A and B are shown apart, each in its own frame.
Chain A
Amino acid sequence: MVEVSRKPKGFVTINQERCKGCGFCVEFCPTNVLQLSQEYNSHGYHYPIAQAPEKCSGCDQCGAYCPDFAVLGSRNNNKK
């Protein structure tokens, strides 16, 4: 049986290399989409990953807090 799922309202784009691991986006995402990865980027920082992308509303709160211009939340065009 096919599992029915809703297309998420938004998605988050992360530039891993630009991140300095401050964690602002993880803390201030209203729906707890993000968490810091176990992996390091080439500068030695833990960058955020979307651990629950289906919860993303595309509000771009994460992008508004990012001091390093590394995160962006966008809305999906759910037209259909």
Chain B
Amino acid sequence: MTESCVAEPTNSVIEESPTESIPATEEAACTHLEDFLRMDRIPHIWCPGCGIGTSVNSFLRAVIDSKIPQNKLCIVSGIGCTGRVAGYINVDSFHTTHGRAIPFATGLKLANPELMVVVYSGDGDLTAIGGNHLVHAARRNIDIKVICVNNFIYSMTGGQAAPTTPAGTIASTTPYGYFENQLNLPQFLEACGAVYIARWTTFHVRQIQKAVCECFKKKGFTFIEVIAPCPTLYGRRNEYRTGLDEMKMFKEKSKIKNNIDTREATLIPGQEIVVGKFVDRERPNFLDSMDEHYGRVLGDAYKPYTGAIA
């Protein structure tokens, strides 16, 4: 925080300058976030007005709130703008190949079940390139926490239309508008078997923070979809000139509807964005069901699994 400066009061009525009461740096929340960031890599590459940084901000606040030890948390990302998250968070983090964040995270979790494994990646990486992995990790209920930043297009590769692109969107590959059916992620993940599903936009910073805390407490496959602005490749082509314009749209058009049927979780930018916590249920996770099954079939010959490393 060496370069930081405290905004000087411009109003002379104030007798006591706010600068007098700056708490010791270790008390300031900003410095707490900085402990979890690789400060040598900040500023990050994300464009001005990009929502990924805001989602990371909320995520780190949740990590601090949940008091997860830094050496027990792992972040796994795939490829894409959101795929860069792994590189900025100061915990053991892995930047994997395109679409393969979930299989990597599955291996990590099964080898060392003590770890809190978070998959932090984008919509293209998780639901298109790696869509099959998403299906089966949710089906098996592997205990990993997935955060999917959805900005409606493939951003790093140049703004092409993706499975999550809403109808009518102008993308670099659809100059006359997109006409295909859009994948409704909460509905899809509910069918696959995820135990916790929520959708928030980057306007809902405190809700994201709370949702991440809830996921850390929950055992099993959890999924948070974070709708984020991408002014550079989505917004500019679709009436939101800046990230702020898109954030204002999120504020105006979001409707919080907790626990609704995920089929009704519509996502039409500019018209209606249904957000909230949609699913929170219990199902035995992969390792528990494995222990239960083999314990029953093999009896005393089976020792409950405690990980591949001693």
Contact = CB atoms under 8 A, between A and B. Distances in A.
Contact of B18 (A11, A61, A64, A68): A11
B211 interface: no
Interface residues of A, number: 42
B34 to A, nearest CB: 7
A8 B13 CA distance: 11
Contacts, number: 135
Contact of A22 (B3, B7, B48): B48
A15 B42 CA distance: 12
Contacts of B7: 11-14, 49-50, 53
Contacts of B3: 15-18
Q: Which of A5, A45, A52 has the most CB of B within 10 A?
A: A5
A39 interface: no
Given A5-B13, A67-B46, A22 B4 contact: no
B244 A23 contact: yes
Given A3-B13, A24-B54, A69 B49 contact: no
Contact of B49 (A5, A22, A74): A22
Contact of B42 (A18, A63, A76): A18
Contact of A7 (B16, B19, B54): B16
Contacts of B57: 63-67, 69
Can you list the 10 inter-chain pairs with the closest CB atoms, starting with the nearest? A67-B53, A50-B7, A72-B30, A11-B18, A20-B48, A15-B4, A53-B9, A22-B49, A64-B205, A67-B54
